[in-house]
Structure 1
Amino acid sequence: MPVTHFVVRWPDGEEERCYSPSSIVREYLRPGDYPLDVFLDRTRDALAAASERVREKFGYACSSALDQWAAIERRAEPFRANGAQLAQVTVVRVD
């Protein structure tokens, strides 16, 4: 269950390196542009699936995956307030 990072470019041009405890994130995100709501849905599902993989292997959820999701939600909040239907998030790469 290799740790996987993905780099996101937010609508304001800032880039952020994000964490997943599992490579399953590659099944949900690929490099490219996503409408904010689609990005958030896919990322939530990816990190939940990654946490579940940790639970299956070790018997407990991955708090780091849940923390990463919370950070992404906080970072997305200003863009939601300013018209999420227009906001685009770019997944720069998935390592």
Structure 2
Amino acid sequence: MPAMHYRLRWPDASETVCYSPSLVIHDYLTPGEDYPLPELLQRVREATAIASERVREKFGFACSRAADQLLQTEAHAAPFVDDAEARVRVVAFEPA
């Protein structure tokens, strides 16, 4: 199953490299786009659920690394949730 990484730039200009066990993230995020924080989180949650289900279908168990990544992404987003102007940029997709 092709895995990939994607780089996010947060409102404080920090960047994180995130993991997806499936290329489905391509359907949910676009490099160079800025997303309002709630929308970005919704997109990442949906893509992660689909990717994890694809792993379950292929291997018989969900992808724990994807679940961990989602928790990390939500934790990184937490300081910005009260900022209605908070936007997150998808910097790039990168090979895993």
Question: Structure 1-normalised TM-score?
Answer: 0.94
Give the 5 Å matches for 1:1-95.
1-31=1-31, 32-81=33-82, 83=83, 85-95=84-94
- Structure-1 separation of matches of 2:10 and 2:21: 22
1:27-78 superposed Cα distances (whole Å, 9 cap, x missing partner)? 1111110000000000011111110100010010000000000000100000
Number of residue pairs matched? 93
| Per-residue deviation, 1:94 | 1.4
- For the residue of structure 2 that corresponds to 1:75, the secondary structure is helix
Question: Identity over the aligned pairs, expressed in percent?
Answer: 53
| Per-residue deviation, 1:18 | 0.3
Question: Structure 2-normalised TM-score?
Answer: 0.93
| Per-residue deviation, 1:6 | 0.2
| Per-residue deviation, 1:12 | 0.2
| Structure 1 runs (4+) greater than 6 angstroms displaced | none
Letter of the 1:93 partner, please give it.
A
Runs of 5+ consecutive residues of structure 1 not aligned to the other structure: none
